Amino acid sequence: MFLSVFEMFKVGIGPSSSHTMGPMVAAARFLDAMRASEYRFAGVRASLHGSLAFTGVGHATDRAVILGLAGFAPDTYDAGEAEAALARIAEEKTVTPEGLPTLAFDPKSDLVFDYDEALPGHANGMRIAATDAQGDTLLQETYYSVGGGFVLTEAELAAGKDTDDGPAVPYPFKSAAEMLDMARASGLSVAQMKRANELSRRPQAALDTGVARIWEVMEGCIDRGLEGTGHLPGGLNVRRRAGAIREALEAERGLNLTAPHTINDWISTYAMAVNEENAAGGQVVTAPTNGAAGVVPATIRYWLDFVPGASREKLPDFLLTAAAIGGLVKYNASISGAEAGCQAEVGSASAMAAAGLCAVMGGTPEQVENAAEIALEHHLGMTCDPVKGLVQVPCIERNGLGAIKAVSAASLALRGDGQHFVPLDACIETMRQVGADMSEKYKETALGGLAVNVPNC
């Protein structure tokens, strides 16, 4: 099993990797299928199902699909160009993707939120169809946005989760137990094994440049979030708080009466800065999802700013270790809130961050595995119940607490020798089972939990 660090950490846009980035990617994939077809198309239409329908407006899924059909992509997204395109499409009722004729598309009638039909493969389902001049369907595909910006067609989903068809990697661990066995046999760290796997697919310079780019975007997102003011879009009138908290913390520096637990406020503020940017539709990195995008960068920033001996030279080890753990969770369970609740998003992110922090602080592979297990175990059962379907309440603060748990988990693991009672694999399997048993109303539908017990306006 191989899942690249660049698949776990993807540069994209807010507010959701599964509900914004994924549908935009699906639309782009459908355009490619149209370009490869022998048919001449005249129009296009789409329908959203399951969680994509119920919380799609709050997650800007409609905008994402429209822009995707117009040729926009998450990693090259330009906000100004997007707004201009949306205005033009609303007026002209057409999209003009490169390499295809002008296509009829009226967002009000050709993009349907289907609240009745849930598609069988995944909670985040959508159908896209291309039509002729009479409106008859010439080409149609079903896509599933399975979390973290990953998109599978119906056939790809049915084929199974291990769809990597690239060359063999030197350390193809599919479980934490295999990871530890390979680490013992090779004498390598988790990051070193992950690096070797990555280098089997790309040159060293590309790997180093790409990993540096991941942190550059993460750090930029923190910095923008710390400068943000005003209220977040969507109608809840949630105030951006990260900047004000940062200013208060800086004013307290050097005061003898500052409580030791204030460090938790710094960790939370870094995470909240990222998720406030995400909620505002800014540029973020999936880690492993947008909804959980603040946990890993907040933990890194805490390490760099406050931990003696921290060095940016070790950042690749943090991110490679975190990606290895995230890959195990995704392969054996889920990173999708719509599939398994927020335990699959913030829980996975906290496990990744704990593992990364443990690694750069000198942890052994056994301690790294222990750190990831502690963090994930104490997110088990967490629901995904965003108020009004927006990635704001409780999502923003939840990232702060996920980062705090990651730091605590890494610290506990480093105090031990790596031997512990619950294996990470058992914790991941438990998370999968809990997600399967969880009521659908607690899985990113905004039909239960806080979403129905807190006023939406």
Give the tens place of pLDDT for each residue, 378-408.
999 999 999 999 999 999 999 999 999 999 9
How many angstroms separate the CA atoms of 350 and 335, rounded?
A: 12
Rounded mean pLDDT, 26-32: 98
Write down the pLDDT at residue 163. Answer: 55
Residue 164 confidence (pLDDT) above 80: no
Confidence band for 166, pLDDT divided at 50, 70 and 90: confident
Token pair 């296009």 is at which residue? 44
Write down the pLDDT at residue 316. Answer: 98
How many angstroms separate the CA atoms of 365 and 128, rounded?
A: 44
Rounded mean pLDDT, 212-218: 97
Beta strands in 83-173 (DSSP E): 94-95, 103-104, 111-114, 124-131, 137-147, 150-153
Residue 130 confidence (pLDDT) above 90: yes
Confidence band for 84, pLDDT divided at 50, 70 and 90: very high
Residue 162 confidence (pLDDT) above 80: no
Write down the pLDDT at residue 161. Answer: 59
Sign of CA dihedral 285, 376, 352, 310: positive
Residue 457 confidence (pLDDT) above 70: no
Q: Does domain 17-158 have CATH number 3.40.50.300?
A: no
Q: What average pLDDT does the structure give for the chain? A: 96
Angle at CA 291, nearest 5°, toward 90 and 85? 15
Where in the chain are the domains?
17-158, 176-200+202-453
Closest CA to 165 of 193, 190, 201: 201
Residues 180-195 pLDDT 10s = 999 999 999 999 999 9
- In a 3-state reduction of DSSP, which class is residue 112? strand
Residue 442 confidence (pLDDT) above 80: yes
Write down the pLDDT at residue 96. Answer: 97
Residues 3-27 pLDDT 10s = 999 999 999 999 999 999 999 999 9
Residues 264-317 pLDDT 10s = 999 999 999 999 999 999 999 999 999 999 999 999 999 999 999 999 999 999
Write down the pLDDT at residue 255. Answer: 83
Burial of 78 (0-12, 13-18, 19+ CB in 10 A): exposed
Write down the pLDDT at residue 218. Answer: 98
Q: Which of 3.40.50, 2.40.50, 1.10.4100, 1.10.8 would CATH assign to domain 176-200+202-453?
A: 1.10.4100
Residue 456 confidence (pLDDT) above 70: no
β pairing state of 103-104 and 111-114: unpaired
